[in-house]
Structure 1
């Protein structure tokens, strides 16, 4: 009877254990998550305007370790360091990335500028002449 009780207790403890999800660094805790692109900034009649994105939505996923991935968990052309509301952050991979990812060859920016207000991100690529894209939290 004791063995049965011990076995049951052991099984209960094993099933009750769960893997802790890593805590994001303070600099990025507010931007971790899934973000959907909504608009790109374009110059229209001499002034910059937000133009809504048409077609299939595109997403960025910002992990707890700071890596910026696509919706499938694959790296995109995001830099390993970026500014979040003016504070430089350098992503350091702490979890594996999907092994089913295509190889990407990017000529991109050394850093991005990410401005976050509530559930909205504005990502600026290659400042000062950079492209700006607006995202909303999903």
Structure 2
């Protein structure tokens, strides 16, 4: 009789085991898949103690460009003065190694960096969520 009770539990366990599209992906293939131009759509804010997504309310769209070597640029093609050294994409680590010249804004010489060494990225389909180490999350869609 006890064996009959184990069968439903076994079936539930087996049905819960599913793979995702990124399980077998290499860090390089993940960087290649997120390479391109991204449009900021939402930011995560705390309202009454709960975290909710709030639509970005700007007149000028904010873009982020990710190169195939992992370098992150703003909409004008300039790198952040204090950009990360590594990306964590869906849990897979990728060390950023620029393959071509990186252009910075002229005001970077006056910036005292407290950089986020690892940038956490959740990626699925045409949506990406970046979690910054100083707090805050931003949602982007591929443009």
**Do the structures match in fold with TM over 0.5?**
yes
| Corresponding position: 1:79 with 2:84 | yes
1:62 and 1:117 mapped to 2: Cα distance?
15
Match among 68, 87, 111 for residue 72 of structure 2: 68
1:125 and 1:115 mapped to 2: Cα distance?
12
Shift of 1:97: 2.5
Once the two structures are superposed, the pairs formed by residues 37-76 of structure 1 within 5 Å of their partners are 37-55=40-58, 56-76=60-80
Which stretches in structure 2 are left out of the alignment for 5+ residues? Answer: 1-26
Shift of 1:40: 0.6
| Corresponding position: 1:91 with 2:128 | no
What's 1:120 paired with?
127
Task: Point out the structure with the larger helix share.
Answer: 2
The answer to whether the 8 Å contact 2:70/2:87 transfers is: no
Normalising by structure 1, report the TM-score. Answer: 0.74
Which stretches in structure 1 are left out of the alignment for 5+ residues? Answer: 1-23
Normalising by structure 2, report the TM-score. Answer: 0.72
1:82 and 1:60 mapped to 2: Cα distance?
15
Count of residue correspondences: 112
Shift of 1:107: 2.1
What's 1:135 paired with?
140
Shift of 1:109: 1.4
2:98 and 2:107 mapped to 1: Cα distance?
17
1:31 and 1:119 mapped to 2: Cα distance?
9
Match among 93, 99, 103 for residue 107 of structure 2: 103
Task: Please tell me the root mean square deviation across aligned C-alpha atoms, in Å.
Answer: 1.8
Shift of 1:57: 1.4
2:115 and 2:47 mapped to 1: Cα distance?
25
